[in-house]
Amino acid sequence: MADHLEASVTLPSEPASVSAARAYAVGILAEWGLPPDSDIADTVRIIVSELATNAVQHTLGQSPIFTVDLALDRDERLRIGVTDSHPRLPRRLPAAVQQDNGRGLVIIRWLTAERGGRMTVRPLREGGKTVGVELPWSLPDRPAGTARADAGRPAGRNARGVF
């Protein structure tokens, strides 16, 4: 595999985009060799879903789009970032408000820590921010004698391999 792979999609800040972001991320990871039914794919699915939901719900119409970026470095680290143009940084909500919502960042932090990763929030000069997660990357073991279904196939749509 290449030393560095990247993929990105920009979506409108509307509720239907959350499932599109989730499907996009899992599809790209499958192209990079991660089975969609693996535990790490489930973790990424939840993280992307929570980050995309935050980008849609908490930008209050001030960010008409958001971008999901995925990057894989040397088959070691997976980086996930969701960027929107709303200037307010995410913050933890008081417990009373958390009854029905407000647990997204807590879930993301917990899943990230469980996988040995880290979460960051980076403000952007032009306004907005990127909420990012970095996770260790490893492919599940394959039974001896089985080949990857996509072996020898070039990276798919919107995915770039940098050598």
Give the predicted TM-score (pTM) of the model.
0.80
For the stretch 131-142, pLDDT in tens is 999 999 877 765
pLDDT value for 75: 77
Q: Is residue 21 one of the residues assigned to a domain? A: yes
Q: Is residue 59 one of the residues assigned to a domain? A: yes
In total, how many domains does the chain have? Answer: 1
Find the CATH number of the domain harbouring 129: 3.30.565.10
Share of the chain above pLDDT 90, in %: 61
For the stretch 96-132, pLDDT in tens is 555 556 678 888 999 999 999 999 999 999 889 999 9
Q: Which two tokens stand for residue 13?
A: 């800040």
Report the chain's mean pLDDT, rounded to a whole number. 83
Q: Is residue 32 one of the residues assigned to a domain? A: yes
CA distances to 26, 32, 43, 117, 119 from 109, rounded to whole Å, are 20, 24, 11, 9, 6
Q: Is residue 135 one of the residues assigned to a domain? A: yes
pLDDT value for 101: 62
pLDDT at 8 over 80: yes
Question: How far is 127 from 138, CA to CA, in rounded Å?
Answer: 34
Give the position of tokens 């907005």.
128
Are 45 and 30 within 8 A, CB to CB? no
Q: Is residue 19 one of the residues assigned to a domain? A: yes
Q: Is residue 31 one of the residues assigned to a domain? A: yes
Q: Is residue 73 one of the residues assigned to a domain? A: yes
Better-scored residue on pLDDT, 1 or 50: 50
Question: How far is 28 from 23, CA to CA, in rounded Å?
Answer: 9
- Per the structure, the complete domain to which residue 28 belongs is given by 4-93+101-141
List the end-to-end C-alpha distance of the chain, in Å, as a whole number: 9
